[in-house]
Every structure is written in C-alpha cells, then in structure tokens.
Amino acid sequence: MVRPPLSRYAALSWLAALSLLLAGCAHRAQTVEQPLPVPPTAAAEIGELRPGLLRGYLDRKVLPDSLALVSAPPAADSPAFAADQEVYQRTRPLLSGARGQLAARDARLEFPQALEAFACAADLDITESATPHLYTLLRRTLVDAGLSTYRAKDHYQRTRPFALNRQASCTPAEEPKLAKDGSYPSGHSAVGWAWGLVLAELMPERADALLQRSYAFGQSRVVCGVHWQSDVDAGRVVGAAAVARQHADATFQAQLRAAAAEIRESRAAGRGSASANCASEAEALKQ
C-alpha cells in the first residue's frame, strides 16, 4: 500500500519530534560518557568501620539477604550433614602438610597480607602503592561480601567443625572467637569468591587461574577445620550476589575502571608478581 505524502506541516512536525528525540539521545550519551569522579583510595575519605577496615560500597540496607539466598544448613541427622562430616574427616591429614600451611595463610584477611593469595594467579602484586584503586576495590569488596553473610550466620548459629569434633584447626589462636561466630555460610568463602569474580572480570586472560585460586581459597576453610563444605558452598553464593549488587553502584563501577587502567599500565610496564612461593603454592594446591 502506497502511503500519501506527508503535508508540509506534518513533515515539519515529524522532523521537530525527531530532532528532539535525537537531542535527548545525544544528551543521554553525553551523560553516560562523562567520566565519573575518580573514587578515593584514602581511608580518611572513604571512612572505616573500625581501624583498618574500610567501609564497603553498599549501604547495609541494600546488601544481599543471605537468609533469603541460601537454604538452611544440613540437619544433624541428614545425609547432607554426613557428607559434610566425611569431607571434614577426609581433609584432616592435610592439616599438617603443605596444604594445611596454605590454608593457614589463606585465613588471613588483613591487608596487605590477604592479597598475597592471588599474586600468583594474577601474576601481579596488588599493593597500595603500585595499584591503589585495585587495592581499594578489594578492600571494600571484602566488607560487602563478608557482611552479606551475617543475616544467615546470626540466624542459624551453626557450630563449626573443629568445635563439634573437638579437634584442632589451622588457626588455634582464633578458635575462641570462631567458636562464638556462626559457621554457615562461610564469610571467608564469600570474600574469596567475590575477589575471584572481580579479578577475573578485570583480567579475563587469567580468569581460569583466578577462579581456581578463589575456589581453593574457600576450600582452605574446610582444610583448616573451621567450616563445613556446605558452609563454603553457601558462602560462594552470597559472595557472587554481593558482586552482582556492587555492579549497580556508581562508585564501584568507577573504581573498577580505575583498577582496570592500573592493570593495563602494570602489564605494559612488564610488572608481574615477585612472589617466590608460586611453585610451592601450586604443589600445595594439588593435594
């Protein structure tokens, strides 16, 4: 069907509407393309929850609800709990070897030591001086992922394996504190998986190695004797939810871009990891 030609008035009206539409699109494009202010890296500007622990990106009101995200932990008389016990007992011999030593190192969440766990997988030393935005990104992600586990932790108050079985863990000095803190889901595993997701996004060429190391970081909690396998599995779910929610935060997005620029600069300069422990870490992870 052939349409009749537009009248001059209709054509002008159509062009005016199109111009307004295009102007609006251009304005939105300019708005999107305008760079956000570079987010701070100094604790004095970000704020701290307590000395050494930066505030996260997410207000507590918008943190993922772990109580809604994960089901209840296995009941004591269930096959799932029997499986947890089997994994726990099977990993006890690892505690006294190289894998147990690595698990003890993975237990550290203090900065800068915590990030040594990912230096080999990233082939990059993540430091406050060389990569301040990446360093800050991971410090603040720790808080968002860790805090996201506490609705379920506080609700279920699950007893940790070392306490239930009356056996040693890889961090005996922490046992009194851990015995009072719910085991399910694992906060360490949430943090480690969140770190792995963020790092894999920033370094896609090393994504497999980073996610494998992130997975092992969570498994270290089982080897350590401070979490059941189901705690660790649930922790990864919460960590992934925290990172997904962070992507809706403008400051997180800006810091992510700044961190990506730092990584490109480091790669261009030929900077990798100076860690001498990569070979021994790889051997430990085979156990």
Residue 231 annotated among the catalytic residues of the structure: yes
- The residue assigned the tokens 């991971």 is 138
Cis-peptide, bond into residue 112, ω within 30° of zero: yes
Cis-peptide, bond into residue 185, ω within 30° of zero: yes
Indicate the class that CATH gives domain 43-285: mainly alpha
Residue 221 annotated among the catalytic residues of the structure: yes
pLDDT in tens, 149-205: 999 999 999 999 999 999 999 999 999 999 999 999 999 999 999 999 999 999 999
The active-site residue out of 227, 233, 236, 245 is: 227
The active-site residue out of 231, 233, 236, 245 is: 231
Domain boundaries, the chain: 1-34, 43-285
pLDDT of residue 17: 40
Residue 5 has pLDDT above 60, yes or no: no
The active-site residue out of 158, 221, 236, 245 is: 221
pLDDT in tens, 102-160: 999 999 999 999 999 999 999 999 999 999 999 999 999 999 999 999 999 999 999 99
Residue 232 has pLDDT above 60, yes or no: yes
Lookup: tokens for 163? 């306490």
pTM of structure: 0.87
Lookup: tokens for 117? 């766990």
User: CB neighbours (10 Å) of residue 283?
Assistant: 12
Within 13 A of 198's CA, how many CA atoms are on the CB side? 35
Contact status, residue 187 vs residue 153, Cβ threshold 8 Å: yes
Give the residue from 98, 93, 137 showing the smallest Cα distance to 118.
137
Residue 133 annotated among the catalytic residues of the structure: no
**Helix residue ranges, H only, the chain:** 8-33, 43-46, 66-69, 79-90, 98-106, 119-122, 132-148, 150-156, 161-165, 175-179, 187-202, 207-224, 229-246, 250-268, 278-285
The active-site residue out of 188, 213, 236, 245 is: 188
